[in-house]
Structure 1
């Protein structure tokens, strides 16, 4: 089996016996505008400075976007992945399903594919890729590409858009994809492949694998969230799987937490957090020092407060703590949702950087005033 094929199969972490359906790769090269040199050392910042950078950045292909999951490349740059993205007036299309920014200190660059469409191509008409999480896989024998320094994996939700008559929630999760990019020091990420990790499924109660992902101690951990369908329960259950970074092609070593132990059967996976008081569709989970930290709305996307959960292990037990007010805003038209932590960004205060996605129910306003859809950054105590 070729090295390239081995990596592709390895990244289909959650196929669970299903054949991974590969989508055609987009022809490189992708490019960065502007070019930002790699930093000589991590830049220590504050949430106020990050908000200022976001406010003054003049990026024609990124005026606003939600989610904004992040990871650090080996050359020190940060890669940020966004969902629905508004571009400047005069840029077509004005709205794409996803985008990627790379930052070096306060320099911000847009990653642009040929044709300037979404960085991860749409699946089909009406079905798009919404990024949920991103990881940078460290160098290992299983990921030894000649001339490549990092492999970036963007976990995205294959999402079927509605016809607009169903309001804000007129979309359906159909499954998880993994978009794989290779990166050389200082270079633009280049697409390698897009994999269908879980098969197409219209069920509203399936596990949304890839809702969070992180790398720690030689393992890549992939978290999933699930709506239970219980009346008046808007939070989601949280699940976790892991695969060894050093030998990701060995399917026998992929493991799912069943509530008591790691084992290879995806069907036996059990929630590590219940839906009642549970998490949002997307969240972040990271190891911060010796503590595992999850950041999300408690009670789902409709909740009004950002919480942190801490645990000694990636499986829990999880202890919640209220961190920030963030009213859902469905009654006011000003939305706040999908809070995420960014522990790879050092803060002068020693705290933990957290972003909260913002949006409006008025698409015309969003296009005219994209700043209402830009993320807001804040600081919370670091565990």
Structure 2
């Protein structure tokens, strides 16, 4: 029988291995666009604050992006392993009113609405067709010789999260995948194969999580159905890495290899695929250009393993792209003049503690905890060797 720690190690650590295979570390050789790029700030100090205090049943969970809503911080996580009894969940969340991070962060609720329950619960709901697919191919009911998808399961991985206070909701961009099937099948391996990406809405009034239906475009196929209306983009153009809101304009980063692409849409029309447009480069005067065709998308900022954080820092009068590059334990950043850049070269923020083994991943900023107008930032990363979400405090020279 597989232990909780063993299962957690294989599945959670596999995420960073896949990201490393798909991307190469390029931040040292990216050349800055000197036109309009703010000066790179100096890091004054970095302090490790230890692991987040999570629910006692959590054995390990990765990702760990968050968004502030009023006096609350909402967090979303990917693959989650719980103990006593052992369970494996592909999406969970938590929220807290603990907004002072200098003495650590406590996130012990069992869902994104702050429920104090006995065990964390699944966050992004499955459709009836997805549940039926997983049940049909459950290992105790099939053999690979007779079922090409024997053991296959649908997974939903949350990524970028952004608050939409005007509509009293939080949006979570997620990836849909099929995994656990026989070797060389469409659903093989612990990471499986991507099926597409979608958007979940966390309604803070009704305390319900729903998956938005994409309109304004032809529905995309999935492994369990000929058309899944909840898929916004094919998996290869996954807009799930980071998201930020400026006024009514929502900027979403994705389609990442070593660099990411950028899309934008009015947040009021996020479900309408015909309203999305994609950063396609700059004109002769340096102004950002946009296209309705995602095939025209141009590379923008550098990619992190498991995602990025793109945040506004008022004290610097600039934007930061915070990320942990694949195959690196160094939290890194770029500075830019807008969500579309132009961006500086990558510069180091802090060396993360890998506890003597492995490579960390999922490095994120949490601006709802920032102090001194953003000169003090709180960052987290996933320590793959211990399954911990670890917190550090970073201060820029003012």
- TM-score (structure 2 length as normaliser): 0.63
Within 5 Å, give how 1:114-263 maps onto structure 2. 117-122=121-126, 123=130, 124-125=133-134, 126-139=153-166, 143=167, 150-163=168-181, 170-184=191-205, 189-195=207-213, 199=220, 206-227=236-257, 236-246=258-268, 248=270, 253-260=275-282, 261-263=289-291
8 Å Cα contact 1:121/1:128 also seen in 2: no
Partner Cα distance (1:84, 1:311) in 2: 32
**Structure 1 range deviating more: 163-172 or 217-226:** 163-172
> Aligned residue for 1:3?
none
| Alignment pair present for 1:68 and 2:95 | no
Aligned with 1:345 (options 347, 350, 369):
369
CA shift, 1:77, in A, is 0.6
Deviation at 1:204, TM superposition (A): 10
CA distance in 2, matches of 1:171, 1:304: 25
Q: Is 1:110–2:137 an aligned residue pair? A: no
Q: 1:107 Cα shift?
A: 5.5
Distance 1:248 1:297, change over 3 A: closer
Structure-2 residue corresponding to 1:374 = 388
Deviations 1:37-76 (A, max 9, x none): xxxxxxxxx9766x46x24x4443x3421111100113x1
Partner in structure 1 of residue 32 of structure 2: none
Runs of 5+ in structure 2 lacking a partner? 1-45, 99-104, 135-152, 224-232, 283-288
Once residues 313 and 222 of structure 2 are traced to their aligned partners in structure 1, the CA distance between those partners, rounded to angstroms, is 34
* 1:2-151 to 2 correspondences below 5 Å: 51=50, 54-55=52-53, 57-60=54-57, 62-74=58-70, 76-90=71-85, 94-105=87-98, 108=107, 109-111=109-111, 117-122=121-126, 123=130, 124-125=133-134, 126-139=153-166, 143=167, 150-151=168-169
Contact 1:239 1:270 in 2 (8 A): yes
CA positional deviation for 1:164? 8.7
Q: 1:115 to 1:199 in 2, by over 3 A?
A: farther
Q: Secondary structure at the match of 2:295?
A: helix
Partner of 1:41: none
The structure having more radius of gyration, on CA atoms, is 2
Tell me, in whole angstroms, the C-alpha distance in 2 between the residues paired with 1:380 and 1:130.
28
Q: Secondary structure of 1:272's match?
A: coil
CA–CA distance in structure 2, aligned partners of residues 266 and 250 of structure 1: 15
Equivalents in 1 of 2:242, 2:182: separation in Å?
Answer: 28
Aligned-pair CA distance for 1:255: 2.1
Give the Cα separation in 1 of the matches to 2:349 and 2:296.
33
Q: Distance in 2 between matches of 1:158 and 1:178?
A: 10
Q: Any conservation in 1 of the 2:353–2:383 contact (CA below 8 Å)?
A: no
Q: Which residue of 2 aligns with 1:323?
A: 349
SS for the counterpart of 2:236 is coil
For the aligned residue pairs, the C-alpha RMSD in angstroms reads: 3.6
Q: How does the TM-score come out when normalised to structure 1? A: 0.66
Displacement of 1:78 in angstroms is 0.7
Task: State the alpha-carbon separation in 2 of the partners of residues 249 and 206 from structure 1.
Answer: 19
Q: Which runs of 5+ in 1 are unaligned?
A: 1-45, 144-149, 228-235, 361-371
